[in-house]
A and B are shown apart, each in its own frame.
Chain A
Amino acid sequence: MDTAKRVSLEKKATKVRMGIIEGVHSAKSGHPGGSLSIADILTYLYFDKMNIDPKNPKMEGRDRFVLSKGHAAPALYSVLANRGYFSVDEIKGLRHTGALLQGHPDMKHIPGVDMSTGSLGQGISAAAGIALSAKSFNETYKVYCACGDGECEEGQVWEAAMFAAHKKLNNLIVFIDLNHLQIDGTIEEVNSPMPIDQKFKAFNWNVILINGHNFDEIEKAVEEANKSTTKPTAIIAETVKGKGVSFMENQVGWHGSAPNDEQFDIAMKELEDKLASL
C-alpha cells in the first residue's frame, strides 16, 4: 500500500472514530470500546475493498458485510454515513426514539446494512448462508463478516465454522476482533475461547494473523483470503479495545458505557489532533 492511500485510510478511520464517539455520547449509551477496535477493518472494507454503491445499497452482485458483533453498530453506522449511505447527521440520533439508527444493526430500515444482528453468534451463520447462496446461484461476490473474540464463546460460532468449511465457502472471510476484553473482564479470565486461531485451523479454515490497526496487514490478509480456493478464511486481528481514545484503550469499563460531556471533549480533541497530524 502506498503512503498516500494509507494516510487517506487513516484519515477516514479517524473520522469514523469521531462518529463513533459522537453517536455513543449523544445516545448516552452504546459500545464504544469494541466499535473503536474494529474501526480500521471496517474503514478498509467499505472505503477500499468492497464492491458496493452507496447510492444503490441493494445493488445486485455487491459484496456483503455482516457485523456479527452487532454491538459495534456505532462503527458500522459511522462508516456507512461517512461513505455516503445516509447523512452523517443521523449519527447524533443513534439509539434515540424514532431515529433511523437502532441500537443494533437493522437491515429493514438502515441503508447499507446487509443483515440484522446483535444477538451474538448469529451473524456468522447468516454470513455463511449468504456465501452459500452466492455459490448456489453462481454469484461471484464476497461475503465479509466480523465477530468478537468474546463472541467466540457462543456455540453457534462453531456450528457456523464447521458448516462453512464443510461447504467449502472460500467466498467467506471472517474477521475476529481480538481485543481481549468482554463485559465481565478479559476473555482469558471469563471463559477463554483461546487459542482462536488453532480452533479455526482445526475447523479446516484458512487462518491469517494480523495487527487489526495496520492497513497494510489488513489489505494483505484480505488479498490472501480472496485467493483461497476451497476454504473460508478467518483473519484473526489483534486489536486494542477503545483504540484511538487514550483513556478508553484496554479499559474493560468502556465496553458498554458512554462518555460524559467532559470525556467527550477530551476524546474528540484527541481525534481532531490525530486528524490534523495526518
Chain B
Amino acid sequence: MADIKKVATRDSYGNALVELAKNHDDFLVLDADLAAATKTGIFKKAFPERFYDCGISEQNMMGVAAGIATTGKKVFASSFAMFAAGRAFEQVRNSIGYPHLNVKICATHAGISVGEDGATHQCCEDLALMRTIPGMTVINPADDTEARMAVFKAYELDGPVYIRFGRLALPIIFDEAYDFQIGKGVELKSGNDVTIIATGLMVNEAMLAHDLLLEEGINARVINMATIKPIDSKIIVKAAKETGAIVTAEEHSVIGGLGSAVCDVVCAECPVPVVKLGIYDAFGTSGPANELLDVFGLRAKDIVEKVRDVLKLKK
C-alpha cells in the first residue's frame, strides 16, 4: 500500500485554532498545563496574548471559560478527555451547559489510543457523559480535514460544544471539498446488505471492513457519524429501512456512546438488529496505541465479525 498521509486530530485542532484566529479576534484559548500535548501550544506560539494557561486545575478552567463566555466572547478550553469531560463534568454541566454558554470544550487524548499512559488517562466514557448534558453538541471527527472543519463550525455555532480529538495519527479520509455539517452523517460507501455506522478513528477501519466484506459478497453501507449529538436520525432510519441491520463502531464504551445513540433512534423509529462494537465495560491498559486497538478488537476484521453476527439476526 502506498504511503497514506496521517495526522493526529489533536494537531488538526491546534492548526485550526491558528487559522480561525487569523480572521476572528473575539475568542480566547485556555489550557490546563497540557498545551504541548493538546496542541493549543501551536496557537499559543502564534497568538500568545490570546492564550491563557490555567495550570493543573481543570475545574477552575471550565468556570473561567464560562465566565469569559458570559461577556459575549467565545472561548476554547482544552485538556485530555479524561479531565475535561470526566474530572470537570459537573463544572461543564452547571457552569457551561445550564446557562448554554459559548464554550468549546476541545478534548484530546480520548479513547484507548492514548496508548502507554494506560487506564487512568484513557477516557472511553466522555461521549456518554457529554451527551447527557442538555443542549451540548458532541462531535468526534474522523480525520484531519473533518477535525479542522469541526473547529470552524463549532466556533460558528451558538452554544456549548464538546469535540473529541485523538493522539494517534490517522489516515486522511476527506479532501478540502468535504462539506462538514454539524448534525449530519455522511454515507461514505453505498450498500444495501448491512450498514456500518462508525465514528472517530473507527471510520477508517469501517472503510477497510467494507472492502473485506465485499470479498465475501457482502455489500455494506458505511456511514461516518461525526456528530454524536444531535444525532442524524434521518440517515440512521434510512439505513435501517434499506439495509435491515446495523453495526456501530466506536473507540468508546458501548455504554452511552455512538452505539447507544443509534439504538435510541432505531428502537423508537425503525427496529432492526444493531450490534455494537466498542469497549465492553472495561478499563484500558498500557501499550502502544496500535497494539491496543488490536487487543481491544477495534479493527476492520472485528467489524467484519460483528457484521456476520448482525446478519444472523437480520430478518
A: residues with CB less than 8 A from B are 64, 66, 106-108, 114-116, 118-119, 121-134, 136-137, 139, 155-156, 159-160, 162-163, 166-167
Residues of B contacting A114 in the complex (Cβ-Cβ under 8 angstroms): 70
B70:A126 contact, CB within 8 angstroms: yes
Give the bracket for the number of chain B residues in contact with chain A: 20 to 34
Interface residues of B in 63-111 (CB under 8 A from A): 63-71, 73, 90-91, 94-95, 98-100
Contacts of A115 on B, CB cut-off 8 Å? 66-67, 70, 95, 99
B54 within 8 Å of A by Cβ? yes
- In the complex, what residues of B have CB within 8 A of residue A121's CB? 59
- Which 8 pairs show the lowest CB-CB distances between chains A and B? A129-B67, A125-B63, A159-B60, A129-B64, A126-B67, A159-B57, A130-B67, A133-B71
A128 to B66, CA, bound (A): 10
A97 to chain B, nearest CB (A): 18
Q: A27 CA to B65 CA in the complex, in Å?
A: 33
How far does the alpha carbon of A155 sit from the alpha carbon of B57 in the complex, in Å?
A: 10
B99 touches A125 (CB 8 A): no
Query: Does B71 lie within 8 Å of A125, measured CB to CB?
Result: no
Contact A128 B57 (CB under 8 A): no
Query: Quick one: closest A residue to B54, CB to CB?
Result: A163
Instruction: Tell me, rounded to whole Å, the shortest Cβ–Cβ distance linking B295 to chain A.
Output: 36
- Given A125-B60, A156-B57; 6 other pairs, CB 8 A cutoff: A126-B63, A126-B70, A127-B67, A129-B69, A156-B59, A162-B57
Contact A128 B64 (CB under 8 A): yes
Among residues of A, the one whose C-beta sits closest to the C-beta of B49 is A136
Bound Cα distance from A164 to B66, whole angstroms: 15
The reply to whether the CB of B28 lies closer than 8 angstroms to some CB of chain A is yes
Q: Is B308 an interface residue (CB 8 A)?
A: no
With beta carbons under 8 angstroms apart, the residue of B49, B68, B90 that contacts A129 is B68
A154 CB to nearest B CB, Å = 9
| A interface majority secondary structure | helix
Query: Are B66 and A159 closer than 8 Å at their CB atoms?
Result: no
A116 touches B60 (CB 8 A): no
**Docked CA distance A119–B67 (Å):** 15
What residues of B have a CB within 8 angstroms of the CB of A126 in the complex?
Answer: 63-64, 66-67, 70, 95
Partner of B91, one of A106, A118, A122: A122
In the bound complex, CA of A122 to CA of B104 (Å): 18
**Interface status of B50 (Cβ within 8 A of chain A):** yes
Q: A128 near B60 (CB under 8 angstroms)?
A: yes
The answer to whether B91 and A130 touch across the interface, beta carbons within 8 angstroms, is no
Show the binding face of B for A, using Cβ within 8 Å.
Answer: 28, 49-50, 52, 54-55, 57, 59-71, 73, 90-91, 94-95, 98-100
Indicate whether A119 sits within 8 Å of B94 (C-beta atoms), given known contacts A132-B67, A133-B73.
yes
Q: Is B67 in contact with A108, judged by CB distance below 8 angstroms?
A: no
Chain B residues within an 8 Å CB radius of A107: 70, 99
Closest to A129 in B: B67
Are the CB atoms of A162 and B55 closer together than 8 Å?
yes
Compute how far the CA of A134 lies from the CA of B54 in the bound complex, rounded to whole angstroms. Answer: 17
Tell me how far the C-beta of A127 lies from the nearest C-beta in chain B, rounded to whole angstroms.
6
What is the CB-to-nearest-CB distance from A228 to chain B, in angstroms, rounded to a whole number? 19
B88 to A, closest residue via Cβ? A156
Give me 13 A-to-B residue pairs in the complex whose CB atoms sit less than 8 angstroms apart, sorted by A's number: A106-B99, A115-B67, A115-B99, A116-B99, A124-B63, A127-B67, A129-B65, A129-B68, A130-B68, A133-B71, A134-B71, A156-B63, A160-B60
Cβ–Cβ < 8 Å partners of A125 in chain B: 59-64, 66-67, 91, 95
Give the docked Cα–Cα distance between A160 and B69 (Å): 17
Q: Which of B68, B71, B98 contacts A116 (CB 8 A)?
A: B98
Closest residue of chain A to B63 (Cβ to Cβ) is: A125
Name which of A64, A131, A133, A137 has the most chain B CB atoms within 10 A of its CB: A133
Instruction: Name the B residues within 8 Å of A129 (CB-CB).
Output: 63-70
B50 touches A136 (CB 8 A): yes
CB pair A156–B60 under 8 Å, yes or no, is yes
Bound-state Cα–Cα, A124 to B66, Å: 11
Q: How far is the CA of A130 from the CA of B99 in the complex (A)?
A: 15
Q: How far is the CB of B105 from chain A (nearest CB, A)?
A: 14
Give the shortest distance, in Å, between B136 (CB) and chain A (any CB).
15
Query: How distant is the Cα of A122 from the Cα of B64 in the complex, in angstroms?
Result: 9
B28 touching A163 by the CB < 8 A rule? no
Asked if A122 and B50 make an inter-chain contact with CB atoms under 8 angstroms apart, the answer reads no
